Amino acid sequence: MINLTLKDGSVRQVIGGTTILELASSISQGLARSAVAGKVNGEVKDLTSALKEDAQVEILTLDSEEGLEVMRHSTSHLLAQAVKNLFPGTILGIGPAIANGFYYDFDSEHIFTPEDLVKIEKEMKRLAKEDNKFECQEISREEALKYYGEKGEKYKVELINDLPGEARISMYTQGNFTDLCAGPHVPSTKALKAFKLQSVAGAYWRGSEKNKMLQRIYGLAFAKASDLENYLFKLEEAKRRDHRKLGIELDLFSLHDEGPGFPFFHPKGMILRNTLEDFWRKEHQKRGYVEIKTPIILNRALWEQSGHWDHYKENMYFTKIDEQDYSVKPMNCPGGMIMYKTKLRSYRDLPIRCGELGLVHRHELSGALHGLLRVRNFTQDDAHLFMLPSQIKDEIIGVINLVDYFYKVFGFQYHVELSTRPENSMGSDKDWEMATNALKDALEAKGMEYKVNPGDGAFYGPKIDFHLKDCLDRTWQCGTIQLDFQMPEKFDLNYIGEDGEKHRPVMIHRVVYGSIERFIALLTEHYAGAFPTWLAPVQVRILPISDKHNEYAQLIRNRLKDQDIRVEIDDRREKINYKIREVQTEKIPFALVVGDKEAEERTVAVRRYGQKNTETLGLEEFITLIKEEIQSKKTRLES
């Protein structure tokens, strides 16, 4: 008998040689029916795998990410089988599972078209219904080379030759199709139900441009048809919400060949940007921050001192001034160090919280550029906090509270990740342990759940990252808190302690937005361009029905402007329904229609964005309503 420890901690005794599927059946028939694989001591295996010794065992279903990955990899084999059936002579590459789906690479004289994908998907569905078992067979290297060599599968032969010398070669067969594969796979093709082929792209064999370009077919695969439909809906929504498209349509920003990765902000985009910055300043002032501004270009010696020259040089831009090397800053922190050193500091001065909306430049490969999400110059809402060691926990908690407040204002949910020491780090083991424990202590004091990312910290310290979730359930890393014992040491920062001696301060680097540009992109997509009233570049557009109502429209505009409300008048000689449609297209929060009745009664016919009905309000009543909406920062997420 062997002892198997299950996921819930319970222990089951079974006869050695019992399969994972038999174990699942002994737990419940329902679990056996939904099982797709098992995990034994952390390794994912087929359900037919025998359990021969004591182990920790988990039965995997399609409710788990690991179960989905097994199913998606199996679907890639189904794709390969369908392609071989429909296009004989096609040579196989590889077909792994990827996020939300799978792909397979093919070497074929036939160029796959969108019409071909429809045929291939139909054939996949036919094959899936055959309920063919995925059966594993292990053979020797020589047998495998002979088998694939005779079939002309040159890429499989290459893969086999690259395997370790003593390795047994595993192959999986379903129906009339056999593929080289380490597995595992679902029990049979009937488990493959909710999939869809998506696109075809070129891909060099093994990712090297020295090799032949193959055709890569991408597909999606989910546990249920409803999950697939929901994902496809979100893909369409993502296209509709794409900030690059909306940025042009709403006249917010543009990108040009004259400056790849260097965005141009238009007047309306600047209103949005300035509103975000004003909010940032106001909330930081409340929390005891002071604002600074440091130069964009600083000399090489500073970047050598900070460590960026050794650890970050490939991402920096350089210039010469008076025959000396200078760099355009990729980060704001070295300038913050210089500011700290401008005068002698006392322990009574600490903590010092210096905020900076600092423009930085980082070299990104042209292929990585993506609208405002990945650019070459951006403004970080940086802050550098200098403190006593005894103040670390309270300061980190203060930053967490600030980040939490900001994200709730914008209607974002988020999760937290803690990234620990990377390989190319600076500093002693003691400093890193102290810094990492301080971040953990603050998170635990707040009662926050967090995921640990081993080795993903900054080169100078561990960090807490905040990952936003938008209305399409996509996640984006924005806010970060980095605890740093290294920079104060490198720049010889000091304060005079209670004992009259010099001591080293501790430092926190942190951002909330991450970068203004990226945050604007996220907000644009999150709200689908329908910004909350307090953020909207134009908050109200007044629509006089005819020329004789222009005078009353001007009176309304002046009254609203007096209240700092951003307002326009559309006094063109167009039909009122046309004007209303334009307000909706431009996603302006409020349209005020004014005609004879409104002018006589000093009222406005209010039409909210996204609503078809109008509501008549007194002018002062409307002003009270919109001011309350602006002050409360109420969101108006599109449904």
**Residues that are catalytic:** 333, 362, 380, 382, 384, 463, 509
Kindly compute the dihedral angle of the four CA atoms of residues 349, 353, 357, 359, in this order, to the nearest 10 degrees.
80
The count of other CB atoms within 10 Å of the CB of residue 347 is 16
Q: How far is CA 338 from CA 302, 383, 488, 493, 514, in A?
A: 9, 14, 11, 9, 23
Portion of the chain with pLDDT greater than 90, in percent: 82
For residue 250, give the nearest of 544, 523, 574, 592 by alpha carbon: 523
pLDDT digits (tens, 9 = 90+) for 73-131: 999 999 999 999 999 999 999 999 999 999 999 999 999 999 999 999 999 999 999 99
- Phi first, then psi: give them for residue 87, nearest 5 degrees: -130, 75
- Residue 329's contacts (CB-CB under 8 Å, 6 or more residues apart) are 294, 295, 296, 297, 298, 335, 358, 360, 361
Q: Which of 69-83, 252-266, 427-441, 601-615 has the lowest mean pLDDT?
A: 427-441
Tokens of residue 405, six digits: 């407040």
Mean pLDDT score, 373-385: 94
- Residue 319's contacts (CB-CB under 8 Å, 6 or more residues apart) are 297, 326, 327, 328
d(CA 213, CA 94): 13
Q: How far is CA 47 from CA 1, 51, 67, 501, in A?
A: 19, 10, 12, 67
Portion of the chain with pLDDT greater than 70, in percent: 99
Give the pairing of strands 264-265 and 253-254: antiparallel
Tokens of residue 381, six digits: 């809402």
pLDDT at 638: 40
DSSP string, 20-63: HHHHHHHH-HHHHHHEEEEEETTEEE-TT-EE-S-EEEEEEETT
pTM: 0.81
Q: Which of 56-65, 110-119, 165-174, 277-286 has the lowest mean pLDDT?
A: 165-174
pLDDT digits (tens, 9 = 90+) for 535-559: 999 999 999 999 999 999 999 999 9
Domains and CATH numbers, the chain: 2-61 (3.10.20.30), 66-236 (3.30.980.10), 253-526 (3.30.930.10), 540-632 (3.40.50.800)
DSSP string, 250-264: TT-EE--TTSTT--E
Cβ-contact 197, 121 below 8 angstroms? yes
User: 576 forms bridges with which residues in the sheet?
Assistant: none
User: 465 forms bridges with which residues in the sheet?
Assistant: 417, 480
pLDDT digits (tens, 9 = 90+) for 238-256: 899 999 999 999 999 999 9
Type of residue numbered 249: E
For residue 340, give the nearest of 328, 329, 351 by alpha carbon: 351
Cβ-contact 277, 516 below 8 angstroms? yes
pLDDT digits (tens, 9 = 90+) for 160-173: 998 877 668 999 99
If 0-12 CB within 10 Å is exposed, 13-18 middle and 19+ buried, where does residue 279 land? middle
d(CA 633, CA 527): 14
For residue 185, give the nearest of 102, 82, 307 by alpha carbon: 102
Type of residue numbered 273: R
For residue 533, give the nearest of 630, 440, 441, 450 by alpha carbon: 630
Instruction: pLDDT band for 458, please (50, 70, 90 cuts).
Output: confident
Give the DSSP H or E segment for 177. strand 177-180
Cβ-contact 589, 533 below 8 angstroms? yes
Q: What b/e sequence results for 235-256 when a residue is b if at least 16 CB atoms lie within 10 Å of its CB, and e otherwise? A: eeeeeebbbbebbeebebbebe
Instruction: pLDDT band for 636, please (50, 70, 90 cuts).
Output: low
